[in-house]
Amino acid sequence: MRLLLRLASFLALTVAVLAGTIDSIQSVAASGPVLTPLADGIEVLGPEAAGWVQSLQRTDAGPAVWLTALHWLLKQPAFAIFLILALLLWVVGYKKKPAAGRFAA
C-alpha cells in the first residue's frame, strides 16, 4: 500500500512540476505572472475530461458545500493543487523509522 501511495505522490509531483514549468514559460513570454487554473488544465486533456468536470458541477451532483468547494478548487493554480496532493500522499505513505533503533529487541 505504501508503494502505491508513494508512486501516486511521485506522479502528482511530476504533474505539479510540469504545470509549474508551463506556467513559468508562459509568464516569461507574457512578461507577467500567469497561473493556469485547474479547470483550464483539465479541459486541455480533451472533451472527455471536460465532460467529467461539467458532470461534477451539475446542481444535482451533491450538496451546496460540495459544489462551493469544487468551484473553489477548480479556480486554484494547477501546480499548487498537485503539490498539495503530492505532499498529502507522501505523508500518508511515509514509513516512520523505529524509535528504538535497528538492533532493538
User: Which of 12, 8, 3 has its CA nearest to residue 38?
Assistant: 12
pLDDT at position 62: 64
pLDDT at position 16: 96
pLDDT at position 53: 79
Burial of 32 (0-12, 13-18, 19+ CB in 10 A): exposed
- The Cβ-side half-sphere exposure at 64, using a 13 Å CA radius, reads 0
| Structure-model confidence comparison of residues 43 and 103, the more confident one | 43
CA distance 9 to 12: 5
- The Cβ-side half-sphere exposure at 9, using a 13 Å CA radius, reads 16
- Residues 8-63: pLDDT tens digits? 999 999 999 999 999 999 999 999 999 999 988 888 888 888 888 777 777 665 67
Q: Which of 55-64, 67-76, 82-91 has the lowest mean pLDDT?
A: 55-64
What global pTM score does this model have? 0.80
- Rounded average pLDDT over 63-87: 89
CA distance 1 to 8: 11
pLDDT at position 105: 59
Domain boundaries, the chain: 1-35+78-93, 37-76
The sign of the dihedral angle between the CA atoms of 31, 37, 38, 39 is negative
Residue 71 CB partners (closer than 8 Å, separation 6+) = 57
